[in-house]
Chain A
């Protein structure tokens, strides 16, 4: 990581999405090189390219330069325009992969987001969880009216075919967050979807949400999935905090992007992604 002037250089394919959206939000150019340069199959994966395309659609004036081998990307950020966008996600990753960063961008767009994505709905992160957990975090920052994630079709690997519609209003500024009391868990709810996936959400007395999800591997029985999800949920609960590990990064990012006020949140053990 070395910064020279307005250009920030990274190497490796880790945190690809985060690097790009942070670049977009901060207006700084990033250059990512050595993307899987030592791999048998070097360069960007299909889903990463697809994500770049999506990023191009929701922005205006972005310049993306991918090297011939695909091992380096130069991204000059433009302006987040939002509006009505349709994108066909690559089926190597679930819709969650594309949607998560869009949630972080949407409040700072010029026009309200109306994003339709097609692809796999129940792979990590499950769109149900995005709807029931991650979107709820936005509400704490004052983004409420018009925030919606509609799951019109569900699709599971390998072919996908699911469709979701994400709508998000724009805000002038975020509200500072004060969320330290995690409370005690009062209810646990869940959604099981065809294609063997289960997501569980535990809600506490103060409105803290803790979640877990599992998608079936070949050969799994429904009982297995249920048990595994429950265990995952329990370990999430044990970590503590007002925010679970899948929405940590978003909450922290929004806290940073908020006004010049102190925000406080209590989180459990940090995940590597956040």
Chain B
């Protein structure tokens, strides 16, 4: 084995040699054997083609609009599984893989940067039905953990069912505990078995991952690396519900209620801020949001925050270590959190005295504990304390700070910032001692100042010194830059204004000096406020000119008119910012009101000097609005129409007609002239710049004309060519969607974020801070980071309640069928609520109520609840509390069919009565109704007897309670029961109770309305026994009917077939009966012989049977013996197995106190 391995040949990747070779290659393909790749038989070719088409068709999905922005929000990865399957370990391992960070506890969402263009949020799903339902609604990827040593558990299947109805995200199965298998063979067999079961549940070939044992509390690095690779290449298909609703998963929750208020009334409503990445579609301010488990709330305030876990801005080949951020505010990772107005430094551990006994205390800790001992509050002490951060700086006073924040007008937060100040001192000590152990508050600017002052401009050093990775604080440098920028911008603004002023001055001069006043001179301004400036200047000019030159003021007004006539208007600003009525805007009164007032005042003053001007004006306005006719047409001004008699006005719009020439631009000036792009605020210069010569312009004109002609020609003739391959419908739709998305993006590209947020809402992917008011105090009190808080947006209709008709099917694994009006908890849209469905089935004409759901069939259910769009899927459970763990908890699944405010469900009602007098076809019926009025209601209704004779209700009988006359198609009997089949409308109960599990101290204990049965059981109330409902022995006396008598005359007319055949029995014996038969001797012999033979045969058969029975008995004996032996063996084996299992459980329970219980093992596997 001496010879070294030789270097492999590396063919040229570029250059002349490569080109030569390439040429050769292509040549050879054609030259040598052109037929080689053609199919040999027609049959095969056809098969191949078919297969190809099938594959392409399989690939197609219904095209959906993908509204994820260019920088998508972090993908939510839910780690789900029964308890003790290794969820936490998996998250820890993955986080370690992505960020090199060891997590101690997993609480709440953990966001990490996983690649150049992807971030991931990990969520651990607790083993609680509420939590599972919520997580299923937001997860982009589900890692479904399965304990391979145990097998599938019910939770897994329950979760899969929940996923199915709420849109199916990507699912990846992960088998854990594979190290528990001793034998390779059983391991392989188990893997295969579980894989196939998993595939039947999801799809053939669904990815199942295998994680072998745990090393150092984590899964093996290589396996985790592979898993992370799979996650990183995953594509997400947009899910319909999430593609129509904004939502965020709160990764931070803060209570902003005034502490004083809370102290006075601990149960007061709270003001809460929630933080999280926005997913789904754009979030509009003032939207109503639903927090599953807490209720509906209007957004009080939304503000975007800088991304705490940003994607790398520079694209490099791989992610550098510094860019591998982790953001998990609930799990005590990362040091500093920054908010709109405060920065939180959050570190584990606490400073309570009890904990510190016997432990060496650092200087910082001592200081904090000393602070706790202080007799008066920190605030009061700080009120008059001073803080000098820099030697040169002014001493800061706490009181000053409060004043400042109050003067800023943010009344909600002044308490916070005050608190911030009080803990400011504390924090400096923390920073210097590197022993930060308590969440503290600082205002943003303060931290900037302190950090810059103490550490010299960056927080990075803090991170290194403290020995723990913390996120880089980036705002220190950026802030300065920004302020600089702002300053420079402001300066720019001033400069611009100055320039504009100069231009305006010029402009005015031209107006005043020029004779042609109606001319083209138009003033332009960037915004209305600027316009005000211009106007006020003009006013000023007016005022001063009034005394001097009257005609000049007129000029100015005329100029203004032309200004308004041709100016483009920023409608958005007009409608939302200025307090104008739509009429005013439509009438072209865009000026800010004060200006108009002053103008009007001037006008009025000219007329008469009166003080009642304002009153008059108001009157006039009201009259105008009152007289307006509610019509789409605006009122016509006769005078304005008269101008169409003039040739000039007609000429002016000639170019609007196809007959008009293109050159004649006349009125078209506003089309090609300067205009102000209202969205960007920039002024676009028209083509007719004064600097250019006439020739140039002509040239341009000519080229433009040519272009237009060419376009026309193309449009006319190009379509008919068949060069372009016909696009399939699918591609067409896809292209349309892509084009629209492109348009959407382009539309808002250049807008500033504030306008954007106002018009289209906040983009998904932004990190938002949401302020909610009037939250129940339990939300804050019983907040548990293990249970995710989802804030889902509701579209305007989804706030209302109504009757919802759904198609529902009892889940085949649910043990019982469901009963009408039994409370059921639905998970629909974002919501979970308890309601009382009424089941029904349509029999073609009407919806008939069903008392119970069919066993294996869909049926319709109607319930009262929040409206959701049709085709929304739902699942239903009977109880979300943790107590019933024994069975499959998903009771039913289905989709919404339709929404209504009324329901048409009926149940059958049979009214019975008996005849008390019968005429020919008429009978008087009693006992069906109780009064004549009731009869009147049913006049003309169809009735029937049990024997099937149909009839009709006629009139009530006078002076009888409820008796009526009825006619039938035949004469009925006195013994007949007459019944009337009626339909009674059933209305579902208007009961809808949201599941408020998040407000409970123990989240699994939510209990809504209970079933009557369970209430009875708990209270020990026996079932009410209605004697009418008990069964009695049915007494059915045999009825005797008189023989049918047919009159002789009638009989004679009947055909023979219908005639009654009544023959008497024979009294005499017949001829054959009278004679005796005697056998011949030979016949007798034959007869005897036959008898003997038969007797012999019978005997033989009997013996044979006996023998067989004996044999069978022997065999059974043998089998029984074998059976008993195997049973014995099996018993022994089971005993061994359970003994071992019990021991293992006892061991594990002793080592790790877990609250979860393993409960169910699936029998179907």
Taking beta carbons and an 8 Å cutoff, which residues of A are in contact with B?
6, 12-17, 26-28, 36, 38-39, 60-61, 78-79, 97, 100, 110, 124-125, 176, 178, 184-186, 205, 228, 230-232, 234-235, 237-238, 240, 245-247, 249, 259-262, 264, 269-274
Contact (Cβ within 8 A) A79 B900:
yes
**Given contact pairs A27-B797, A61-B902, A235-B644, A246 touches B743 in the complex (Cβ within 8 A):** no
**Given contact pairs A14-B628, A26-B796, A125-B632, A79 touches B658 in the complex (Cβ within 8 A):** no
Min CB distance A102 to B, Å, is 13
Q: With A and B bound together, what is the CA distance between A185 and B659 in angstroms?
A: 8
Q: Which residue on B lies nearest to A259, using beta carbons?
A: B65
Q: With A and B bound together, what is the CA distance between A181 and B867 in angstroms?
A: 40
Chain B residues positioned under 8 Å from A246 (CB to CB): 632-633
Sample of 10 further A-B pairs with CB below 8 A, known A235-B644, A259-B65, A274-B632: A14-B625, A61-B900, A184-B655, A185-B658, A234-B644, A245-B633, A249-B632, A260-B67, A260-B744, A272-B586
Other-chain residue from A13, A26, A261, A271 in contact with B744 (beta carbon distance below 8 A):
A261
| CB-contacts of B626-640 with A (<8 A) | 626, 628, 630-634, 636, 640
Contact (Cβ within 8 A) B740 A176:
yes
**Given contact pairs A261-B744, A262-B747, A61 touches B802 in the complex (Cβ within 8 A):** yes
Q: With A and B bound together, what is the CA distance between A6 and B660 in angstroms?
A: 53
Chain A residues positioned under 8 Å from B748 (CB to CB): 262
Q: With A and B bound together, what is the CA distance between A97 and B649 in angstroms?
A: 33
The CB with the most chain A CB atoms within 10 A, among B67, B585, B636, B640, is that of B636
Contact (Cβ within 8 A) A186 B632:
no
Per-position contact with A for B597-635: 1 when CB-CB < 8 Å, else 0? 000000000000000000000000000011010111110
Q: With A and B bound together, what is the CA distance between A232 and B630 in angstroms?
A: 19
**Given contact pairs A228-B641, A234-B650, A27 touches B799 in the complex (Cβ within 8 A):** yes
The CB with the most chain A CB atoms within 10 A, among B586, B652, B656, is that of B656
**Given contact pairs A15-B630, A16-B630, A28-B796, A184 touches B900 in the complex (Cβ within 8 A):** no
Contact (Cβ within 8 A) B587 A27:
no
| CB-contacts of B654-709 with A (<8 A) | 655-658, 660, 667
Q: With A and B bound together, what is the CA distance between A240 and B797 in angstroms?
A: 36
What would 13 A/B residue contacts be, using CB atoms closer than 8 Å?
Answer: A14-B625, A27-B797, A60-B901, A61-B901, A78-B901, A79-B900, A79-B901, A234-B650, A237-B653, A245-B632, A247-B632, A262-B748, A272-B586
Q: With A and B bound together, what is the CA distance between A184 and B659 in angstroms?
A: 9
Contact (Cβ within 8 A) A271 B586:
yes
Contact (Cβ within 8 A) A235 B634:
no
**Given contact pairs A60-B900, A270-B586, A184 touches B653 in the complex (Cβ within 8 A):** no
Contact (Cβ within 8 A) A273 B644:
no
Chain B residues positioned under 8 Å from A39 (CB to CB): 626
Taking beta carbons and an 8 Å cutoff, which residues of B are in contact with A?
65, 67, 281-282, 571, 582-583, 585-588, 625-626, 628, 630-634, 636, 640-641, 644, 649-650, 652-653, 655-658, 660, 667, 740-741, 743-744, 747-748, 796-797, 799-800, 802, 867, 898-902
Min CB distance A113 to B, Å, is 17
Chain B residues positioned under 8 Å from A27 (CB to CB): 796-797, 799-800, 867
Q: Which residue on A lies nearest to B635, using beta carbons?
A: A272
Chain A residues positioned under 8 Å from B802 (CB to CB): 61, 79
Q: With A and B bound together, what is the CA distance between A212 and B1106 in angstroms?
A: 110
Min CB distance B335 to A, Å, is 39
Q: With A and B bound together, what is the CA distance between A61 and B902 in angstroms?
A: 7
Contact (Cβ within 8 A) B571 A6:
no
Min CB distance B583 to A, Å, is 5
- Pairs of residues from A and B, 4 with the lowest C-beta to C-beta distance, nearest first: A61-B901, A272-B586, A231-B644, A262-B747
Chain B residues positioned under 8 Å from A6 (CB to CB): 799
Contact (Cβ within 8 A) B634 A271:
yes
Min CB distance A93 to B, Å, is 8
Min CB distance B565 to A, Å, is 10
Q: With A and B bound together, what is the CA distance between A221 and B1129 in angstroms?
A: 113
Chain A residues positioned under 8 Å from B65 (CB to CB): 259, 261
Contact (Cβ within 8 A) A13 B640:
no
Q: With A and B bound together, what is the CA distance between A274 and B740 in angstroms?
A: 26
Q: Which residue on A lies nearest to B803, using beta carbons?
A: A61
Other-chain residue from A97, A235, A269 in contact with B641 (beta carbon distance below 8 A):
A235
Q: Which residue on A lies nearest to B871, using beta carbons?
A: A172
Chain A residues positioned under 8 Å from B634 (CB to CB): 245, 271-273
Q: Which residue on B lies nearest to A213, using beta carbons?
A: B633
The CB with the most chain A CB atoms within 10 A, among B571, B583, B630, B653, is that of B630
Contact (Cβ within 8 A) B631 A124:
yes
Chain B residues positioned under 8 Å from A228 (CB to CB): 641
Min CB distance B573 to A, Å, is 14
Min CB distance A243 to B, Å, is 12
Other-chain residue from B636, B653, B743 in contact with A261 (beta carbon distance below 8 A):
B743
Contact (Cβ within 8 A) B800 A270:
no
Contact (Cβ within 8 A) B657 A185:
yes
Q: With A and B bound together, what is the CA distance between A17 and B898 in angstroms?
A: 27
Chain B residues positioned under 8 Å from A260 (CB to CB): 67, 281-282, 744
Contact (Cβ within 8 A) A14 B630:
yes
Chain B residues positioned under 8 Å from A16 (CB to CB): 630
Chain B residues positioned under 8 Å from A178 (CB to CB): 743
Chain B residues positioned under 8 Å from A245 (CB to CB): 632-634
Q: With A and B bound together, what is the CA distance between A124 and B631 in angstroms?
A: 7
Chain B residues positioned under 8 Å from A231 (CB to CB): 641, 644
Chain A residues positioned under 8 Å from B796 (CB to CB): 26-28
Chain B residues positioned under 8 Å from A100 (CB to CB): 632
Chain A residues positioned under 8 Å from B571 (CB to CB): 270
Chain B residues positioned under 8 Å from A273 (CB to CB): 631-634
Q: With A and B bound together, what is the CA distance between A78 and B743 in angstroms?
A: 35
Contact (Cβ within 8 A) A261 B656:
no
Chain B residues positioned under 8 Å from A13 (CB to CB): 630
Q: Which residue on B lies nearest to A230, using beta carbons?
A: B644
Chain B residues positioned under 8 Å from A205 (CB to CB): 658
Chain A residues positioned under 8 Å from B628 (CB to CB): 14, 272
Other-chain residue from A26, A36, A79, A234 in contact with B899 (beta carbon distance below 8 A):
A79
Chain B residues positioned under 8 Å from A249 (CB to CB): 632
Q: Which residue on A lies nearest to B901, using beta carbons?
A: A61
**Given contact pairs A100-B632, A184-B660, A235 touches B640 in the complex (Cβ within 8 A):** yes
**Given contact pairs A205-B658, A232-B636, A262 touches B744 in the complex (Cβ within 8 A):** yes
Q: With A and B bound together, what is the CA distance between A60 and B900 in angstroms?
A: 7
Min CB distance B817 to A, Å, is 31
Contact (Cβ within 8 A) A262 B902:
no
Chain B residues positioned under 8 Å from A262 (CB to CB): 740, 743-744, 747-748
Contact (Cβ within 8 A) B898 A110:
yes
Q: With A and B bound together, what is the CA distance between A185 and B67 in angstroms?
A: 38
Chain B residues positioned under 8 Å from A185 (CB to CB): 656-658
Chain A residues positioned under 8 Å from B902 (CB to CB): 60-61
Min CB distance A229 to B, Å, is 10
Contact (Cβ within 8 A) B743 A272:
no
Contact (Cβ within 8 A) A124 B633:
yes
Q: With A and B bound together, what is the CA distance between A58 and B586 in angstroms?
A: 32
Chain A residues positioned under 8 Å from B641 (CB to CB): 228, 231-232, 235
Min CB distance B1070 to A, Å, is 79
Chain A residues positioned under 8 Å from B744 (CB to CB): 260-262
The CB with the most chain B CB atoms within 10 A, among A26, A237, A262, is that of A262
Min CB distance B679 to A, Å, is 12
Q: With A and B bound together, what is the CA distance between A173 and B747 in angstroms?
A: 21
Contact (Cβ within 8 A) A184 B657:
yes
Q: Which residue on A lies nearest to B650, using beta carbons?
A: A234
Chain A residues positioned under 8 Å from B743 (CB to CB): 176, 178, 261-262, 264
Q: With A and B bound together, what is the CA distance between A61 and B901 in angstroms?
A: 5
The CB with the most chain A CB atoms within 10 A, among B655, B748, B867, B901, is that of B901
Other-chain residue from B626, B630, B632, B799 in contact with A271 (beta carbon distance below 8 A):
B632
Q: With A and B bound together, what is the CA distance between A270 and B636 in angstroms?
A: 15
Min CB distance B381 to A, Å, is 44
Chain A residues positioned under 8 Å from B652 (CB to CB): 238
Contact (Cβ within 8 A) B585 A270:
yes
Q: With A and B bound together, what is the CA distance between A156 and B872 in angstroms?
A: 48
